[in-house]
Structure 1
Amino acid sequence: MAIHLPQANAQLRMFNGAYDNPFLAPRGVHLLGNKLLVSDTGKNRVFIWNQIPTQEFQSPDVVLGQDIATGTGRNQGSKISASTMQYPSGLWSNGKILAVADAWNHRVLIWHNFPTQSGQPADVVLGQTDFLGNEPNQLGVGSTPSERTMNWPYGLTSDGEHLWVADTGNRRVLYYDQIPTENNAPADKVIGKDTFDDRDYDHQHAIWPYSVKLSPHGQLAITDTQYYRVLLWERWTDAFSQPASVIIGQPTWEANGQNQFGLFPQANTLNWCYDSCFDNTGLWVADTGNSRLLRFSELPQQHNQPADSLIGPKDFSTSSENAETINGTNNTLYWPFSISISGQTMALADTGNHRIVLIDNH
């Protein structure tokens, strides 16, 4: 079943940032009750609204990563610090703690008290020895990773106690048993590698883990962008010792074709997928390269299971950015990167359209 935007039983809202300071390719979004957090990736900053905006263009309450609200430079066009960002992507908060994957600085920033002031510096940095470093794996390109280093961390998540980081460039997910309170804290475990210094390919693990998500019931999903698939574990603790129980988007561990090498997508195929998100019963997948969201109303129990419904194109075999835009883009998507769900509201980073889409009663 195809679902156009807006759905018949849903309310649709779209936000484009501030009137004098619009989004540029936002890649991260997080909903927390009435709070809306957005990684405005192309402009190297995070926007925070303490109440979901009511207008298409509305200034945020807090801007992080820049010294002025309209600033857009990488690391503020100067030296890296606890207050700067370069290509922020995934983010998570529980209303007190905020964590941001500062991808191109090869680090994760953590605020242990939710930011209330624009430009507020982070309290803790992971992946670097201090707030002044931003080399991949701390020593530069080609250096060996460790339990303390990162290389292009794009995604992260937490349950308020533990922390998972998609250390994308190192082809692994780092796990912290507690959200760190000190700089350069080591990860406790690693998903996808036997040791912390391993970067080898293994088709039974995520080749390019861009996103990691946890369900309220303890399931774990890792979106493996390079192999066009999502890996699903029934219990997150199993991910340390065994491959995923289910592959979404491919029929076997060895398979790695865009849309399974088909000319057109189908209900069981993916193309440059970048995120997934659990809801009360199932899973949504941001099938970015096909400019659509796929929904599995119940969690798949076998490899290559087809989705039940979608948002974006008119049917499962259509793949086109802003398909059927003769009446504008309000019913279409263009490279959706990130999904967040809070209650009955879904937030979507519609990256190619430089906007955030909110769908109520999704």
Structure 2
Amino acid sequence: MVCVAAVGCGELVVRSGPDAGPAPDGLRDGTASDAGSGAVTDAHSVLVPRGDGAVWDDSGDDAASGPGSDSGDSGRETEARLSVDRLGNGSGRVWSRPAGLDCGPTCSAGFPLRSTVTLVAEPDSSSTLVSWSVPECGTDSECSVDARDELVVSVRFDRKTHRVDVRRVGDGEGLVFSTGGEIECGSSCEATYPAGSTVILTAAPGPSDRFGGWSGACSGELPSCSLIVDRDLDVGAAFDRDRVSLSVSWIGDGLGVVESSDERIACPPSCSASYVAGERVTLTAHPDAATAVFGGWQGACAGNDDCALELDESKSVLARFDLTRLDLTLAGAGRGTVTVLPGNTRCTQSCSLPFDSGTEVTLVAEPDGIDHFESFSGACGGSGSICRLTLNGPSLVTAQFRRPNPPVVNGQAADLVLGQPAFHVGVANNSDLPGLAQMWSPRSCHADGTRLFVGDALNARVLVWDTEPTAHGAPATLVLGRPTDTPPFPPVEPTWDNGDRELGPYLGALAVHESQLFVADAWNSRIAVWSGIPESLVLPPPALGFVLGQPSFTTAHRTVSASEYNKPRGVLFAGEGRMLVVDSQNNRVLIYNRPPSTLGMHPADGLLGQAAWDADAVEPVSASSMNYPMDAFYDSIEGRLYVADTGNSRVLVWNGLPTQLGAPADLILGQAAESDHEPNRGGSAGPLTMRGPRGVFVHSGSLFVSDGPNHRILVWTPPPTRVDEPPTRVLGQSGFTSTSFGPSSAQFDAWGLCGSGRHLYVNDYAQNRVLRFVLNP
């Protein structure tokens, strides 16, 4: 008996032949009436269940009886063929118990007729068992049937399915869709796919947004993601509003903070933030109140006000914080020093000095050597050498220094005359003037910035103005060396013993040192010293304090030794308090390490022009010899000694004060070689020649040489450093080859020179006057 789930396990009646009557509807022509009939058919018969247990047999054979009947048909088959059809899109294995059937898509096997066969369905890993054609088997993995004739059983395997769930995250807009169209969603959606399917998801951001990347089963930031659906999958797609970045950095050496109006930036330490495109934000700079200032924005902002930004794209901003500082630069061709107060810092090139805000700073400019301070610029201005400013931020100041300019022009006219009422007059002891205004062949002078001293040579006196005169023929304030103030004086007798109150004629140089007045009293072969200088006229004038080179006030020995002189024409002071005496008739210069302070004959410490203390030779002419030197000057700025070697028509120059006896000069001006001594080099006046120079003087960065017999003053700016370096200017003449002479404002018989500030004084020996020239270096 075959058990068919649709009709139960009733008896089967085999119907065959024409007498068996018609078969039930749906079981003719060898087919089952429907899938649920439970009928089993083959090519020979159709077994149709009946209510009484009989079976209709459409094959035309005799009908079988009910249960227990014996047909007596010994020739019938005893094996039934069982076939299995696999349906669906899945895959799996079907096998039987008892063995005999083991198949894939379709198979069949024979089993003993009416035996029970159990079919076992095993779906593969990607499939599931859906159903049997035998309803009672449902979705069980096993299905038992009775084998009768040819029985076909169907089993359905379908592929498993998995869910793909897509979620959109972020604050932006966008779509996610799959290539097959199963998924197309905005916020969230899902679809079911057979296991093992390949699904490609694509993210499409909105026009003002951007795709921020995948999460879950997808990863990365590419717009497409390929999935193999082997399980339920969750996918996140991030869509963000289009974002830009704002970054802040700072430069400068000051301290400060930059803050944003939304408090997302407080730099340092938080110096960048991300913003939705189009947002607006304002940045504010806060410098350290005590030490720094805000120097302005760079990058996406400019200026010093708050920085307002519309962030339509990524932007960067640079904030400058500077220390409250002074940046000082020394510029120009000249050299100098600027002292910065407070702190007393001396700057020689450039300085960058921090200060607290509000500090009052003073700058003091001092030129080096012969150079000149020209001006401050920047936070300070003007030509004054002192600058004051209050620092409320970084301040830039430039101090300009320059080399000296030639202080005069060729043939320049004097602006003042002393000893005469006007420039065109040259009378000795001009009676049109008061006695203290008259002069007779002045040879020397000294100016200390306030007072003016003139050696009125043939009147054997020193005239003193307590302030530099400002009018032609102005009288002196006081007189030294003569008992009265009014010429004509009694002639000075050549007794060489003028005592402690009077001087001899032919006075040489004057010098003031530590409130003492030193006078080269050539006629008396001594250096006369007044220990104090009266402030007003005293008659008779005060007595000398002491004399040097003589054992007493009344002696006037002329000899040669380490402590004696012969007609000294010059006296001067050099660096570190040293004193020099130009011992003219002995053809030498004596050097004292310290100036003597008592009467007597004090031996000198150094000697130039001679090789021994008792020598006074003039030959052979060399860089070490001298012939009646008449003046000397020590340039304390450049540290150079100049000697007017009058008899050899030249000027000797030493770079510093020599310590060796008879040391040769480092430079010779006026002659082509050290052995030459001819006036004007044996010819006429020219730019490189001299004729018995009488005075030397350095002032305003220039060397002035009184080339007396040539009636001119040669000017080098700056002082020369090599042989045959021509002068840059000439006074007394319009050019370097003329030697004309006469009473005027531009011509003179030059002797001694002195000056202070912007004034140069020239002793006009032959015209009994002193001329003043304005200097403009």
TM-score (norm 2): 0.38
Residues 187-206 of structure 1 correspond to what in structure 2 (within 5 A)?
Answer: 187-204=544-561, 205-206=564-565
Q: Percent identity?
A: 28
Per-residue deviation, residues 208-249 of structure 1 (Å, max 9, x unmatched): 111111124211111111111111111123785621111211
Shift, 1:165, TM fit: 0.5
Amino acid at match of 1:142: T
1:351 alignment counterpart: 708
Quick check: 1:227 aligned with 2:227? Answer: no
Distance in 2 between residues matched to 1:324 and 1:198, nearest whole Å = 41
- Contact 1:80 1:133 survives alignment (8 Å): no
Give yes or no for the alignment of 1:252 onto 2:617.
Answer: no
CA distance 1:197–1:293, shift in 2 (3 Å): same
SS in 1 for 2:472: coil
In 2: Cα distance, 1:143 partner to 1:203 partner: 17
Give the Cα separation in 1 of the matches to 2:497 and 2:665: 39
Deviations 1:17-62 (A, max 9, x none): xxxxxxxxxxxxxxx999xxxxxxxxxxxxxxxxx86433333221
The match for 1:308 is 666
Quote the offset at 1:349 in angstroms.
0.6
| Alpha carbons of structure 1 residues 150 and 135: separation in structure 2 relative to 1, 3 Å | farther
Shift in Å at residue 79 of structure 1? 8.8
**Contact 1:336–1:350 (Cα < 8 Å) also in 2:** yes
- Residue number in structure 2 paired with 1:75: 429
Contact 1:94 1:160 in 2 (8 A): no
Equivalent position SS for 1:154: coil
Question: Unpaired runs of 5+ in structure 1?
Answer: 1-31, 35-51
Determine the C-alpha separation between the residues in 1 that align with 2:650 and 2:529.
30
Partners of 2:546 and 2:487 lie apart in 1 by: 23
Aligned partner (choices 100, 103, 128) of residue 482 of structure 2:
128
Quickly say closer, same or farther: Cα 1:295–1:233, change in 2 above 3 A. Answer: same
Aligned to 1:274: 630
Equivalent position of 1:57 in the other structure: 411
Q: Secondary structure at the residue paired with 1:210? A: strand
Equivalent residue runs for 1:28-43 within 5 Å: none
How do residues 105-254 of structure 1 correspond to structure 2 at under 5 angstroms? 105-133=459-487, 135=489, 140-142=493-495, 144-152=497-505, 153-159=507-513, 161-181=515-535, 182-183=537-538, 184-204=541-561, 205-237=564-596, 242-254=602-614
Q: Looking at both structures, which has the greater relative contact order when contacts are Cα pairs under 8 Å and sequence separation is at least 6?
A: 1
1:299 to 623, 648, 657: 657
1:122-167 C-alpha deviation (Å, 9 max, x unpaired):
111111112125547x864437311110002222111472211011
Aligned residue pairs total 309
Provide the C-alpha distance between the structure 2 equivalents of 1:175 and 1:143, rounded to a whole number of angstroms: 17
Aligned partners of 1:76, 1:33: CA distance in 2, in Å? 41
Residues 329/79 of structure 1: CA separation in 2 closer, same or farther (3 Å cut)? same
Q: Which runs of 5+ in 2 are unaligned?
A: 1-369, 373-405, 720-777
Instruction: Select which of 324, 339, 343 maps to 2:696.
Output: 339
Whichever structure has more strand as a proportion of its residues is 2
Instruction: State the Cα distance separating 1:68 from its structure 2 match.
Output: 2.2
The runs of at least 4 consecutive aligned structure 1 residues that moved more than 4 Å come to: 77-80, 133-136, 238-241
Residues 520 and 569, structure 2, Cα contact 8 Å, conserved in 1 = yes
- Counterpart amino acid of residue 249 in structure 1: G
Contact 2:429 2:487 in 1 (8 A): no
Q: CA RMSD in A?
A: 2.6
1:91–1:100 CA contact under 8 A, matched in 2: yes
Q: Which amino acid aligns with 2:617?
A: G
Between the aligned partners of 1:59 and 1:351, the Cα distance in structure 2 is: 17
| Aligned amino acid, residue 590 of structure 2 | L
Superposition deviation, residue 113 in structure 1: 1.4
Q: Is the 8 A contact 1:273 1:286 kept in 2?
A: yes
Structure ID, larger Rg: 2
Residue 270 of structure 1 aligns to which amino acid in structure 2?
M
Q: CA, structure 1 residues 345+53, in 2 after alignment: closer, same or farther (shift >3 Å)?
A: closer
Higher mean C-alpha displacement, 140-149 vs 236-245: 236-245
Distance (whole Å) between structure 1 residues aligned to residue 503 and residue 548 of structure 2:
14
Q: Distance in 2 between matches of 1:316 and 1:111?
A: 41
Partner-residue secondary structure (3-state), 2:509:
strand
